[in-house]
């Protein structure tokens, strides 16, 4: 069920690179000054993105919805600061500039930096096949202020994604309608400076224009941890006639950053924000662009056909130093990636046995090509040996999917969905390689993933839900392109979930879920280039979302997740009964808001992260930790600015000394230090 939010007093208020910043402000001034007179009096329906029609039929599954209230409640230079609000969701921060962090969800620890979590932006997949890690995605390409909504699907319940939809799906949608002009400026400790702007205009003739920009920079809390990134995005919708709309959207992002790398645990205990002397010249550079064209045709009052085509082009290079062969070595990974996707969506409403049926059918094909280079033993970014890998990989995915939700009775809603995926691809060398990874044609593989759910509204206060869903994972990275692995089956995940939402009064909302996920046909490496299906794991957990309004001046929110996993089948007997690595036993976020007056809000956010195993045998563990954020928000008078507020936040107020990530590389226990205490001042307003 989509987690509902009790409106806070904030929610009840009225709706609310330097050259990129300059360009954004120029666009902002131009549009605000010259387009206001051209605003259309009639507001047309916005062009839908893939699967948007499913919003009304998702309550049978656990979906956390984050909207503009959460996005504008405090300065957010990065989207992933929201994940603490999702029960059981956690970010393993690496603090390596330009590199995606690890994402934990439903007992999986390989999201973001790997392929356990799927991510889309306005229907465009962000996961990268055969990139830095299979299924890697980077949310820094998104401007937080441009977002309209984020849906976090917990577990493999969404029909919109396939291979990477194991722990769940992060679906991001930008604003596509309305007239607005929003600005957000924030500055803070360690040279942090973040500027965001978002503009929406309803134009003459029913057209719609949306623009957004962000420029963010900082020096970081450790040596050699500076970063700078800029993003510009735009969307234009045009009404061809009363039944046909077309829209064009685009995005450009570029980023660079230096990285201080990891510390050994002994070094970290001596200098909590230090840097290992072996790390010289680490960092990352990235350029990312997308372009998408949509056409939406209203077949009748209850049926729409959407066609779309999109492309992504990016380059990314990373330098990273870590222990290897009794010393520390720097490696270089370089990617040039291009994606072309196209598809059709048909959605509508009809009657089945005199009851409403909402349905959607889809077809999509994605072709992804990546030029990949890997070098090791560099000295301050200078190569000293030939490439271990220098190749091009191609991965093609054709998907058919459909979902229907039927209101069987006045109190019972049932949902059924099916997704079918087919994959094929190829690999070819671009130059001489010294590594051992095979590079050949990928054998075609197909997989079907069913999903079933039911929601029972027992009374106006209580609803229970139950679902069963299936996800899968292909062999990762270059294992797909080895002929000897042609008989490998997909790793299959099956989730069973039971949930309840209870609203005993206007002051309480409680949403709880229990889940069990089993995996079979796990893929293991038996020798260089050789893999087999052998292994199984069980993940069990509980999630809780609670909202309490004890009075008009208070709002208390609690998000809690508990997980237990166990390896039930493995060729290595020492791993049997052990837990999945990098997954905390529990996570908790307690957020209290107090409004002593209508214009002042005081925030306190307490985050706790439990212990987590960091090796397969569970003999090494990362310690638990917690931190506290304190915030003060003041709404400025309307005479000063519209929808304006000042925000002052003290991050890690107690200056807790903790490791945000603990890992083992090259036999050494390494630490990514948690962020030290910092101060952040933000100004938000609308024109």
What is the tens place of the pLDDT at every residue in 260-303?
999 999 999 999 999 999 999 999 999 999 999 999 999 999 99
- Residue with token string 């056409």: 295
Residue 50 has what pLDDT? 60
**Token pair recorded at residue 457:** 């509204």
Average pLDDT over residues 106-112: 94
Contact 94, 671 (CB under 8 A): no
Average pLDDT over residues 614-637: 96
- Residue with token string 């085509």: 309
Rounded percentage of the chain residues whose pLDDT exceeds 70 = 91
Report d(CA 392, CA 430) in Å as an integer.
7
Contact 563, 581 (CB under 8 A): no
SS3 label, residue 325: coil
Report d(CA 411, CA 409) in Å as an integer.
5
- Residue with token string 């996707």: 341
**Token pair recorded at residue 219:** 């020096």
* Average pLDDT, rounded, for the chain: 90
Secondary structure, 3-state, 520-565? ECCEEEEECCEEEECCEEEEEEEEEEEEEEEECCEEEEEEEEEEEE
Q: How confident is the model at residue 14 (pLDDT cuts 50, 70, 90)?
A: very low
**Token pair recorded at residue 49:** 């993105």
Average pLDDT over residues 3-26: 42
DSSP code string of 243-303: TEEEEEEEEEEEEEEE----EEHHHHHH-TT---TT--S-EEEEEEEEEEEEEEEEEETTE
Average pLDDT over residues 319-327: 92
DSSP code string of 556-603: EEEEEEEEEEEEEE-SSGGGTTPPPTT--SEEEEEEEEEEEETTEEEE
Residue 38 has what pLDDT? 36
Contact 47, 235 (CB under 8 A): no
Residue 87 has what pLDDT? 98
Average pLDDT over residues 445-463: 96
30 burial class (0-12, 13-18, 19+ CB within 10 angstroms)? exposed
**Distance of alpha carbon 639 from the chain centroid:** 38
Rounded percentage of the chain residues whose pLDDT exceeds 90 = 82
**Token pair recorded at residue 98:** 């330009």
- Beta-ladder partners of 570: none
What is the tens place of the pLDDT at every residue in 353-412?
999 999 999 999 999 999 999 999 999 999 999 999 999 999 999 999 999 999 999 999
Contact 456, 412 (CB under 8 A): yes
What is the tens place of the pLDDT at every residue in 405-435?
999 999 999 999 999 999 999 999 999 999 9
**14-18, 65-69, 504-508, 668-672: range with lowest mean pLDDT:** 14-18
What is the tens place of the pLDDT at every residue in 578-590?
999 999 999 999 9
DSSP code string of 94-116: ---TTSPPEEEETTEEEESSSSS
Contact 111, 105 (CB under 8 A): yes
Q: How confident is the model at residue 40 (pLDDT cuts 50, 70, 90)?
A: very low
627 burial class (0-12, 13-18, 19+ CB within 10 angstroms)? buried
506 burial class (0-12, 13-18, 19+ CB within 10 angstroms)? exposed
**72-86, 477-491, 511-525, 543-557: range with lowest mean pLDDT:** 477-491
Cα distance from N-terminal residue to C-terminal residue, the chain: 36
SS3 label, residue 43: coil
Q: How confident is the model at residue 75 (pLDDT cuts 50, 70, 90)?
A: confident
Q: How confident is the model at residue 3 (pLDDT cuts 50, 70, 90)?
A: low
Contact 309, 292 (CB under 8 A): yes
Return the CA Rg of the chain: 25
- Beta-ladder partners of 625: 609
Residue 388 has what pLDDT? 96
Residue 432 has what pLDDT? 95
Q: How confident is the model at residue 7 (pLDDT cuts 50, 70, 90)?
A: very low
Instruction: Give the residue, 536 or 36, on which the prediction is more confident.
Output: 536
Give CA separation, 267 vs 197, 284, 671, 677, in Å. 41, 24, 9, 20
Residue 31 has what pLDDT? 41
Residue 46 has what pLDDT? 56
Residue 54 has what pLDDT? 54
Q: Which conformational region is residue 584 in: left (phi greater than 0), alpha (psi within -120 to 50 degrees), or beta?
A: beta
Residue 478 has what pLDDT? 84
Average pLDDT over residues 433-441: 91
Residue 525 has what pLDDT? 76
Contact 134, 116 (CB under 8 A): no
Residue 35 has what pLDDT? 37
- Of the CA atoms within 13 Å of residue 387, those in its CB half-sphere come to 16
Q: Is the pLDDT of residue 131 over 90?
A: no
**116-125, 332-341, 613-622, 633-642: range with lowest mean pLDDT:** 633-642
Task: Indicate the length of the chain as a whole number.
Answer: 687
Residue 2 has what pLDDT? 62
DSSP code string of 69-93: HHHHSS--SSGGGGGGGSTT-EEE-
Report d(CA 647, CA 557) in Å as an integer.
20
Report d(CA 647, CA 73) in Å as an integer.
9
Report d(CA 27, CA 9) in Å as an integer.
33
Contact 395, 368 (CB under 8 A): yes
Best-predicted range by mean pLDDT among 53-57, 484-488, 625-629? 625-629
Average pLDDT over residues 82-104: 94
Q: Is the pLDDT of residue 340 over 60?
A: yes
**Distance of alpha carbon 205 from the chain centroid:** 36
What is the tens place of the pLDDT at every residue in 562-579?
999 999 999 999 999 999
Task: Spell out the residues 6+ positions from residue 107 whose beta carbon is closer than 8 angstroms to its own.
Answer: 167, 517, 539, 540, 541, 563, 564, 565, 580, 583
Average pLDDT over residues 491-513: 96
What are the b/e assignments for 639-677, b being 16+ CB within 10 Å? eeeebbbebbbbbbbeeeebbbbbbeeeeebbbbbbbbe
Residue 482 has what pLDDT? 82
Contact 486, 180 (CB under 8 A): no
Report d(CA 396, CA 113) in Å as an integer.
21
Residue 434 has what pLDDT? 95
Secondary structure, 3-state, 157-215? CCCCCCCCCCCEEEEEEECCCCCEEEEEEEEECCCEEEEEEEEEEECHHHCEEEEEEEE
Report d(CA 104, CA 91) in Å as an integer.
6
Q: How confident is the model at residue 10 (pLDDT cuts 50, 70, 90)?
A: very low
Q: Is the pLDDT of residue 12 over 70?
A: no
Report d(CA 449, CA 446) in Å as an integer.
10
Report d(CA 660, CA 269) in Å as an integer.
14
Residue 166 has what pLDDT? 94
**Distance of alpha carbon 445 from the chain centroid:** 27
Please give the order of strands across the beta sheet that includes 668-673.
263-264, 668-673, 659-665
Q: Is the pLDDT of residue 90 over 80?
A: yes
Report d(CA 61, CA 467) in Å as an integer.
7
The structure's pTM equals: 0.92
């Amino acid at each position: 069920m989509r987690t509902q939010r009790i409106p806070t007093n904030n929610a009840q208020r009225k709706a609310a690179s330097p050259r990129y910043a300059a360009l954004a402000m120029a666009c902002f001034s131009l549009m605000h000054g010259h387009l206001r007179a051209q605003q259309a009096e009639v507001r047309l329906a916005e062009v839908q993105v893939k699967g948007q029609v499913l919003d009304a039929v998702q309550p049978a599954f656990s979906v956390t919805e984050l909207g503009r209230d959460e996005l504008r409640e405090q300065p957010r230079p990065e989207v992933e600061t929201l994940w603490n609000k999702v029960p059981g969701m956690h970010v393993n921060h690496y603090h390596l500039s330009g590199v995606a962090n690890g994402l934990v969800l439903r007992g999986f620890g390989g999201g973001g930096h790997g392929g356990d979590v799927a991510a889309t932006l306005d229907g465009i997949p962000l996961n990268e096949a055969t990139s830095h890690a299979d299924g890697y995605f980077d949310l820094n390409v998104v401007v937080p202020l441009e977002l309209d909504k984020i849906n976090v699907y917990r577990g493999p319940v969404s029909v919109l994604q396939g291979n990477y939809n194991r722990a769940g799906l992060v679906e991001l949608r930008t604003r596509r309608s309305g007239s607005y002009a929003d600005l957000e400026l924030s500055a803070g400790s360690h040279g942090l400076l973040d500027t965001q702007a978002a503009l929406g205009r309803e134009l003459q003739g029913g057209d719609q224009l949306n623009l957004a920009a962000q420029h963010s920079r900082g020096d970081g809390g450790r040596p050699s941890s500076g970063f700078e990134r800029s993003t510009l995005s735009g969307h234009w919708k045009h009404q061809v006639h009363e039944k046909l709309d077309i829209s064009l959207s685009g995005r450009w992002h570029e980023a660079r950053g230096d990285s201080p790398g990891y510390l050994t645990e002994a070094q970290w205990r001596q200098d909590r924000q230090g840097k290992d002397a072996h790390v010289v010249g680490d960092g990352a550079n990235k350029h990312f662009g997308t372009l998408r064209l949509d056409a939406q045709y209203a077949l009748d009052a209850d049926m729409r056909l959407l066609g779309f085509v999109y492309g992504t082009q990016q380059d990314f290079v990373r330098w990273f130093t870590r222990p290897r062969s009794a010393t520390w070595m720097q490696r270089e990974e370089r990617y040039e990636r291009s994606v072309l996707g196209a598809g059709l969506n048909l959605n509508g409403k009809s009657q089945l046995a005199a009851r409403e049926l909402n349905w959607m059918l889809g077809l999509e094909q994605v072709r992804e090509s990546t030029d990949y280079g890997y070098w090791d033993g560099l000295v301050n970014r200078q190569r000293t040996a030939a490439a271990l890998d220098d190749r091009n990989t191609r991965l093609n995915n054709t998907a058919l999917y459909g979902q229907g939700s039927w209101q069987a009775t006045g109190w019972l809603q049932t949902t059924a969905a099916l997704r079918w995926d087919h994959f094929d691809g190829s690999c070819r060398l671009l130059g001489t390689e010294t590594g051992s990874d095979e590079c050949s044609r990928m054998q075609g593989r197909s997989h079907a993933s069913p999903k079933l759910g039911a929601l029972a509204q027992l009374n106006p206060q209580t609803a229970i839900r139950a679902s069963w869903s299936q996800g899968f994972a292909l062999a990762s990275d270059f294992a797909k392109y080895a002929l000897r692995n042609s008989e490998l089956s997909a790793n299959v995940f099956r989730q069973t979930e039971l949930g309840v939402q209870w609203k005993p009064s206007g002051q309480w909302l409680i949403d709880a879920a229990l889940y069990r996920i089993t995996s079979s046909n796990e893929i293991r490496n038996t020798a260089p280039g050789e893999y087999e299906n052998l292994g199984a794991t069980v993940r069990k957990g509980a999630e809780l979302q609670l909202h309490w309004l004890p009075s008009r001046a208070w709002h208390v929110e609690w998000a809690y997740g508990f997980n237990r996993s166990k390896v039930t089948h493995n060729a290595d007997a020492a791993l049997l009964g052990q837990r999945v690595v990098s997954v905390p036993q529990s996570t908790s976020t307690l957020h209290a808001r107090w409004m002593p007056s209508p214009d002042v809000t005081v925030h306190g956010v307490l985050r706790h992260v439990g212990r987590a195993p960091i090796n397969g045998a569970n003999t090494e563990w990362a310690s638990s930790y917690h931190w506290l954020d304190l915030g003060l928000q003041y709404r400025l008078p309307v005479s000063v600015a519209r929808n304006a507020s000042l925000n002052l936040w003290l991050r890690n107020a107690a200056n807790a000394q903790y490791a945000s990530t603990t890992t083992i590389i090259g036999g050494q226990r390494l630490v990514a230090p948690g962020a030290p205490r910092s101060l952040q001042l933000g100004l938000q307003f609308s024109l």
